[in-house]
């Protein structure tokens, strides 16, 4: 059985908030100049955000779509960052980080009965870690982007706590939303 937590009053405020943030994002992207890269990153993140908010969708399906959409947006950020750093160094750092976190990811998957998602979750973790490593490598020149990446990774952590903790504190979701929207704005401003 997959754990899924819903707070009836929360889901009625969720969709209007998503719509409002989508309009604000589009306005922001227009103000800073809509490039193809910024537009695509925004599109993947926004669609992923909407999918994760569908209250009637099974959690496993949400995770599959969320991994695909957010992972695609992250890959575009990685492509933008990879032009600024040494590829050999990136590979070494990603390999070390990936294998050190693999055990933790396996624990989460087994604990919450998501066995069929081992491959997609591992791939997503690799993409997020790659984005995080690249963000750290360009921190001296791209501090706002690095901050956005760190906040995005933290928002993923709070989202996981919200979905998988047996009795989650509502603050996990609030922090997730605050970190997520701040992260996306900082990242879109910086790429």
Q: Is 73 exposed, middle or buried (0-12, 13-18, 19+ CB in 10 A)?
A: buried
CA distances from 186 to 2, 18, 54, 91, 150 (A): 33, 18, 25, 25, 11
Say how far residue 158 (Cα) sits from the centre of its chain. Answer: 11
Predicted confidence band of residue 7 (pLDDT cuts 50, 70, 90): very low
| Residue in the structure block whose two tokens are 């906040």 | 151
Task: Give long-range contacts, CB 8 A cutoff, 24+ apart: 47-52.
Answer: 48/73, 49/18, 49/21, 49/180, 50/18, 50/22, 52/159
The pLDDT confidence band at residue 153, using thresholds 50, 70 and 90, is confident
pLDDT computed for residue 12 by the predictor: 52
Q: What are phi and psi of 166, to 5 degrees?
A: -60, -45
Residue boundaries of the structural domains of the chain? 8-190
Residue whose entry in the numeric block shows the structure tokens 């050190």: 100
Least confident segment among 45-59, 75-89, 101-115, 123-137? 101-115
What is the H or E stretch that residue 8 is in? helix 8-32
Which of 20, 9, 7 lies closest to 49 in space, CA to CA? 20
Lowest mean pLDDT among 46-60, 106-120, 176-190: 106-120
Q: Which of 35-39, 71-75, 102-106, 121-125 has the highest mean pLDDT?
A: 71-75
Is pLDDT above 70 for 122?
yes
pTM score of the predicted model: 0.68
Share of the chain above pLDDT 90, in %: 4
pLDDT value, residue 143: 77
Tell me the average pLDDT of the chain: 75
């Amino acid at each position: 059985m997959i754990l899924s937590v819903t707070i009836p009053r929360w889901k009625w405020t969720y969709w209007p908030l998503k719509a409002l943030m989508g309009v604000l994002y589009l306005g922001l992207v227009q103000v800073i100049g809509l490039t193809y890269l910024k537009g695509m990153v925004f599109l993947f993140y926004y669609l992923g955000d909407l999918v994760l908010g569908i209250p009637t969708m099974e959690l496993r399906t949400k995770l599959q779509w969320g991994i695909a959409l957010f992972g695609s947006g992250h890959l575009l950020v990685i492509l933008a960052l990879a032009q600024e750093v040494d590829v050999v160094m990136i590979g070494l750092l990603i390999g070390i980080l990936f294998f050190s976190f693999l055990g933790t990811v396996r624990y989460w998957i087994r604990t919450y009965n998501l066995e069929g998602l081992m491959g997609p979750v591992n791939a997503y973790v690799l993409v997020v870690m790659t984005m995080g490593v690249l963000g750290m490598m360009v921190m001296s020149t791209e501090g706002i982007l690095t901050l956005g990446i760190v906040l995005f990774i933290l928002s993923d952590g709070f989202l996981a706590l919200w979905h998988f903790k047996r009795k989650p504190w509502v603050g996990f979701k609030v922090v997730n939303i605050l970190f997520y929207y701040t992260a996306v704005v900082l990242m879109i401003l910086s790429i």
